[in-house]
């Protein structure tokens, strides 16, 4: 079992009414210190209040660290832009799961294990038939990934490290197969089985784009770009969907059901659904001359419109993933001959204007990982409706690494927040005849 690595860093004193409580403060490797309030309610009879958890650390983690002011994102200490430039997604999966870069033997063994889990139970294909062909792929992914728990419910003892490992490998391996099946089902084409001779991302592209009627040759430049995009989306501290997976897992729920919960949360346009929303926004803007109109709407408090792909709870500087995404966008657009894609021109112009606008400067709103991903994924051949499903495919390794860390945390207990109650005071029931 993992021991805490937080270091005592003094105490904080909190006084309220006639009580004063001393609370221990801890520091980590980097980032803000934390005030441990676990005994606060017992000693003062009050709760803290932090809707949206803007000032709350929900757990101790050693997986990913984000420095929002410096625009830094580290996976197990390695900068995400270095991994994007020098590593590959399967190696990053190993890193996130096991905390270190693998040697050749470890890499070969891990890669083989993932490959051998890429097929899904043949019965799983039946679940797709229940959906209409025009069902959103994220609705399909929620349902089918949740259904995986029916296939492994009796072989997932979350307290058995070996079974946790197998569940992790199964999820990392099967998400591309299920995402490709969701895409094929939506366009009425037959499912394509995985091919063990292919690499992880090449296999996914083949399952998504090949047809039985002819040979399919993966474009290595496009496969490398998509593999890099998967690296950028792999994990991101305690974001909404990861926190959902942790909370679901804290009850001891089946890891497949927990990942389905994460997929459901990621779907929201404020979170992983932003890549789909950002492309739709760029299509609505259409041409650079309409940008000022949309910038004005984004600044108008009475208009719910926001610049999709802009802003972030943590990054108050440029999202380092957005920089790499922009580079991948250029590579893919050039490779597919769409370097003059008008939406890319609009995106570049929108970024330039927004970053000079005092509203965005003052509120520290920069492009995030979702701003350029839609343009790139569309150029790779995916429909807009598949963008968030691809995000879920890549984020599964982060979710399951965080789930494993939570289960192995000796301090872990079921998550059960409290509230400030502002409803009716206690009152007696009034029979209908007297109302
Ligand atoms: C992802 O958490 C993660 O790490 C998520 C993620 C990951 O990898 O898991 O990084 C992936 O979800 C990226 C974010 C994708 N979402 C979008 O691009 C949607 C558009 N962005 C916004 O909805 C917003 O920026 C959030 C949701 C991303 C962050 O919201 P916060 O932290 O709650 O910030 P906020 O809503 O309090 O905004 C602060 C201010 C507000 O103005 P005031 O109320 O202070 O006057 O900035 C404004 C907001 O109105 N603002 C925007 C804006 N984002 C924030 N105004 C215009 N356009 C925007 N995009």
Ligand 1 close to Cβ of residue 234 (< 6 A): no
For residue 2, the model assigns a pLDDT of: 59
Q: Judge whether residue 253 has pLDDT over 60.
A: yes
Could you tell me the distance, in angstroms and rounded to a whole number, from the CA of residue 279 to the centre of ligand 1?
16
For residue 154, the model assigns a pLDDT of: 67
Taking residues 307-328, report their average pLDDT.
92
Ligand 1 close to Cβ of residue 75 (< 6 A): no
**Span of 57-66, 80-89, 303-312 with lowest mean pLDDT:** 303-312
* Tokens 């996130």, located at residue: 96
Could you tell me the distance, in angstroms and rounded to a whole number, from the CA of residue 104 to the centre of ligand 1?
41
For residue 42, the model assigns a pLDDT of: 92
For residue 411, the model assigns a pLDDT of: 84
Residue 302 annotated in active site: no
Q: What residue's CA is closest to ligand 1, atom 12?
A: 271
Ligand 1 close to Cβ of residue 395 (< 6 A): no
397-430 pLDDT tens trace? 999 999 999 999 988 899 999 999 999 999 999 9
Site to probe by mutation for ligand 1, drawn from 269, 312, 391 as the one with most ligand atoms within 8 Å of Cβ, is: 312
The model carries a pTM of: 0.94
Taking residues 347-367, report their average pLDDT.
91
Ligand 1 close to Cβ of residue 243 (< 6 A): no
* Tokens 């891990």, located at residue: 110
Ligand 1 close to Cβ of residue 273 (< 6 A): no
Taking residues 116-130, report their average pLDDT.
96
- SS3 string, the chain, reads CCCCCCEEEEEEEEEECCEEEEEEEEECCCCCCEECCCCHHHHHCCCCCCCCCCCCCCCCCCCEEEECCCCEEEECCEEHHHHHHHCCHHHHHHHHHHCCCCCHHHHHHHHHHHHCCCCCCHHHHHHHHCCCCCCCHHHHHHHHHHHHHHHHHHHCCCCCHHHHHHHHHHHHHHHHHHHHHHHHHHCCCCCCCCCCCCCHHHHHHHHHHCECCECCCCCHHHHHHHHHHHHHCCCCCCCHHHHHHHHHHCCCCCHHHHHHHHHHHHCCCCCCCHHHHHHHHHHHHCCHHHHHHHHHHHHCCCCCCCCCCECCCCCCCCCHHHHHHHHHHHHHHHHCCCCCCHHHHHHHHHHHHHCCCHHHHHCCCCECHHHHHHHHHHHHCCCHHHHHHHHHHHHHHHHHHHHHHHHCCCCCCCCCCCCCCCCCCCCCCCCHHHC
For residue 339, the model assigns a pLDDT of: 80
* Tokens 């105490």, located at residue: 11
Q: Which two tokens stand for residue 179?
A: 């995402």
Which pLDDT band, with edges at 50, 70 and 90, does 114 fall under?
very high
Q: What residue's CA is closest to ligand 1, atom 13?
A: 271
How distant is the alpha carbon of residue 285 from its chain centre?
27
Q: Which two tokens stand for residue 386?
A: 């598949």
For residue 340, the model assigns a pLDDT of: 82
CB of 6 within 8 A of CB of 27? Answer: yes
Cα angle: 112, vertex 218, 204; to 5 degrees? 50
* Percentage of the chain modeled with pLDDT above 70: 99
Could you tell me the distance, in angstroms and rounded to a whole number, from the CA of residue 227 to the centre of ligand 1?
26
Q: Judge whether residue 1 has pLDDT over 60.
A: no
Ligand 1 close to Cβ of residue 270 (< 6 A): yes
Could you tell me the distance, in angstroms and rounded to a whole number, from the CA of residue 37 to the centre of ligand 1?
28
Q: How far apart are CA 86 and CA 354, in angstroms?
A: 31
The burial of 370, by beta-carbon neighbours within 10 Å (0-12 exposed, 13-18 middle, 19 or more buried), is given as buried
Give the Å distances, CA to CA, from 141 to 135, 196, 255, 342, 388. 10, 23, 15, 31, 10
* Percentage of the chain modeled with pLDDT above 90: 88
Residue 411 annotated in active site: no
Ligand 1 close to Cβ of residue 363 (< 6 A): yes
257-277 pLDDT tens trace? 999 999 999 999 999 999 999
Q: Judge whether residue 3 has pLDDT over 90.
A: no
Per annotation, catalytic residue among 312, 319, 341, 409: 312
Could you tell me the distance, in angstroms and rounded to a whole number, from the CA of residue 304 to the centre of ligand 1?
12
Return the higher-pLDDT residue of 76 and 153: 76
Cα of first residue to Cα of last residue in the chain, in angstroms, is: 59
CA dihedral 139, 263, 170, 395 (to 10 degrees): 130
Mean pLDDT taken over the chain: 95
For residue 155, the model assigns a pLDDT of: 67
Could you tell me the distance, in angstroms and rounded to a whole number, from the CA of residue 34 to the centre of ligand 1?
24
């Amino acid at each position: 079992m993992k021991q805490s690595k937080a270091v005592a860093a003094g105490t904080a004193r909190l006084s309220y009414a006639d009580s004063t409580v001393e609370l221990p403060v801890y520091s980590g490797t980097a980032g803000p210190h934390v005030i441990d309030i676990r005994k606060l309610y017992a000693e003062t009879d009050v709760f803290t209040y932090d809707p949206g958890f803007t000032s709350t650390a929900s757990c101790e983690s050693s997986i990913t660290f984000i420095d929002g002011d410096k625009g830094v994102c580290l996976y197990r200490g390695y900068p995400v832009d270095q991994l994007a430039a020098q590593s590959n997604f399967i190696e990053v999966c190993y890193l996130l799961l096991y905390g270190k870069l693998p040697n050749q033997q470890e890499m070969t063994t891990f890669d083989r294990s993932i490959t051998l889990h890429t097929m899904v139970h043949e019965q799983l294909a039946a679940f797709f038939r229940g959906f209409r062909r025009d069902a959103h792929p994220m609705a399909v992914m929620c349902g089918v990934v949740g259904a995986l728990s029916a296939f492994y419910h009796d072989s997932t003892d979350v307290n058995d490290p070996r079974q946790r490992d197998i569940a992790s490998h199964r999820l990392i391996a099967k998400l591309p197969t299920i995402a490709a099946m969701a895409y094929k089902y939506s366009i009425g084409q037959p499912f394509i089985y995985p091919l063990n001779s292919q690499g992880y991302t090449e296999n996914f592209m083949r399952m998504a784009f090949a047809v039985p009627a002819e040979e399919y040759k993966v474009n290595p430049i496009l496969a490398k770009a998509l593999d890099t995009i998967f690296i950028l989306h792999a994990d991101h501290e305690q974001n909404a969907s990861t926190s959902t997976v942790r909370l679901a897992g804290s009850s001891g729920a089946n890891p497949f059901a927990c990942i389905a919960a994460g997929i459901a949360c990621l779907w929201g346009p404020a979170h992983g659904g932003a890549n789909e929303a950002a492309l739709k926004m760029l299509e609505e803007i259409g041409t650079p001359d309409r940008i000022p109109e949309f910038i004005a709407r984004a600044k108008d408090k009475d208009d719910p419109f926001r610049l999709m792909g802009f802003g972030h709870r943590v990054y108050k500087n440029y999202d380092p993933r957005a920089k790499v995404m922009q580079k991948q966008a250029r590579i893919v657009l050039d490779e597919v001959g769409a370097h003059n894609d008008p939406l890319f021109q609009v995106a570049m112009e929108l970024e330039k204007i927004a970053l000079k606008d005092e509203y965005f400067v003052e509120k520290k709103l920069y492009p995030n990982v979702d701003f350029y991903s839609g343009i790139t994924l569309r150029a790779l051949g995916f429909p807009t409706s598949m963008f968030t499903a691809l995000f879920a495919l890549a984020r599964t390794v982060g979710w399951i690494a965080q789930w494993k860390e939570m289960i192995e945390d000796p301090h872990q207990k079921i998550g059960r927040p409290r509230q400030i109650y502002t409803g009716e005071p206690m009152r007696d029931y009034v029979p209908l005849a007297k109302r």
